[in-house]
Amino acid sequence: MSAAVFVSADEVWLGGWRGASLLRIDGNRLDWVAPLAAATERPTFHVPGTIFGGFTDSHVHLGLIDPDLLVAGGIARVVDLGGDPESIVALRDRGRVDASAVAIEFAGAFLTAPGGYPSDRSWAPRSSLREVATPQQSGAAIGELRGLGATRIKITLNSNAGPVWDDGMLAAVVTQAHAVGLPVVAHAEGPGQAQRAARSGVDTLAHTPWTERLSDDDVAHLAATLAITSTLDIHGYGDYGADYATALDNLTRFVAAGGRVLYGTDLGNGPLPTGLNERELVGLAAAGLDAAGIAAAVVPDVTSLDTRISWIPNISTDPAATASWFASSTVLAVASLKELFA
């Protein structure tokens, strides 16, 4: 059981398409070895179709959903972007030891200005907020969240729903997070807030900007400085209007300008499917992402194939059906591949 096993697959995504490949299973790890045509070892069995690192939803709220449904729904990994940190830590710890549970990274509590969004929202418990007015307070909050295991810091800049930090405080928060190795994800909403986030050094927007049409110059600046988490489908859940159209237009120009897109749904916000959302994938394709672009969006950080993979039983051949092709994926534990395919 402990000896490594070599397997072949028709196609592998590892930040790029690798084609027919030889891979090695070692316990619950899967490693890419070589193109199949150049491999010297013989595969023990064949995995038909396409292998990816586990598909990731880069914007969820675990406190508002049933995390046990995610893996069966096609999502292997999630990034929680706001909730009670202690309860998220408990879920994350389970995902570390149980390959059938979802793998979790998290931001923990929202950092916001005193009285700022989402401090007035019924879905946001007090424990999910750190209202900070000074760099001393934000530094303490960032240190606390980092101590709990947060892998990024979530901030809110929502001038439509309350006060936001001034430029000096915003820059201080971003600098403090970066100084301890944590990227910053911003909820930017209201005139000019996405542009402020980009100027301050924010790494990722939690949503495609939807409250205004960005100028081409602003889109170019965003594309050069930060990534955008898509969250298109929350603007109507299939029954779309002006907000969806504005977001899709902004994202389409961001993609054309070379910007980096992350698949994210804001799961927990309204009637979204608890798993991979085909409507969000349709939105990514509409914004101009091809199969490689969507693969990069759903597998943002995975450079190895450990523990959990996403698998599609064939290879992509129809560019017009890219979204439905990704939606046909299944999350598999690496340890189960032999049982499934040998």
Buried/exposed 103-140: b ≥16 CB within 10 Å, e otherwise: bbbbbbbbbbbeebbbbeeeebeeebbbbbeeeebbbe
- How far is 6 from 171, CA to CA, in rounded Å? 50
Indicate the residue among 80 and 218 with the shorter CB distance to Zn ion: 80
Beta carbon of residue 286, minimum distance to Zn ion (angstroms, whole number): 22
* CB of 124 or CB of 223, closer to Zn ion: 124
Residue type, 122: S
Q: For residue 208, how far is the Cα from the chain centroid?
A: 13
Q: Record the tokens describing residue 67, joined without a space.
A: 């995390």
Question: Hey, CA dihedral for 71, 74, 78, 81, is it positive or negative?
Answer: negative
Residue number, 60 or 291, with CB nearest to Zn ion: 60
Taking the complex as a whole, the smallest distance from the CB of residue 264 to Zn ion amounts, in Å, to 8
Torsion sign (Cα): 108, 114, 116, 117? positive
Residue number with CB closer to Zn ion (10 or 266): 266
- Binding string, residues 213-232; x marks residues near Zn ion by CB under 5 A: --------------------
**Closer of 266 and 306 to Zn ion (Cβ):** 266
Which CB sits closer to Zn ion, 105 or 266?
266
The mark string for 250-269 relative to Zn ion (x by CB under 5 A, - otherwise) is ----------------x---
Q: Which is nearer to Zn ion, 82 or 139 (CB)?
A: 82
| 312 phi/psi in degrees, rounded to 5 | -120, 130
Q: Residue 80, interface with Zn ion (CB under 5 A)?
A: no
Query: Shortest approach of Zn ion to residue 182 CB, angstroms?
Result: 18
Instruction: Name residues contacting Zn ion, limited to 266-295 (CB under 5 A).
Output: 266
Rounded to 5 degrees, what are φ and ψ at 253?
A: -70, -35
Cβ at position 60, least distance to Zn ion in Å: 8
Q: Which is nearer to Zn ion, 198 or 272 (CB)?
A: 272
Question: What distance lies between CA 186 and its chain's CA centroid?
Answer: 13
Dihedrals phi, psi of 30, to nearest 5 degrees: -125, 125
Minimal distance in Å, beta carbon 265 to Zn ion?
9
Cα 196 from Cα 219, distance rounded (Å): 13
- Rounded Cα distance between 5 and 2, Å, is 9
Q: How far is the CB of 172 from Zn ion (least distance, A)?
A: 24
Q: Which of residues 301-330 bind Zn ion (CB under 5 A)?
A: none
Restricted to residues 85-144, the positions that interact with Zn ion (CB under 5 A) are none
Kind and range of the H or E run holding 256: helix 242-256
Q: Supply φ then ψ for residue 171, to 5 degrees.
A: -65, -35
Residue 1 Cβ vs Zn ion, minimum distance, rounded to whole Å? 42
Please, what is the minimum distance in Å from the beta carbon of residue 63 to Zn ion? 11
Number of chain residues interacting with Zn ion (CB under 5 A): 1
Residue number with CB closer to Zn ion (266 or 280) = 266
Q: How far is the CB of 79 from Zn ion (least distance, A)?
A: 10
Q: Residue of minimal CB distance from Zn ion? A: 266
Alpha carbon separation from 176 to 84, 139, 146, 199, 210 (Å, rounded):
21, 6, 11, 16, 28
Binding site for Zn ion (CB under 5 A): 266
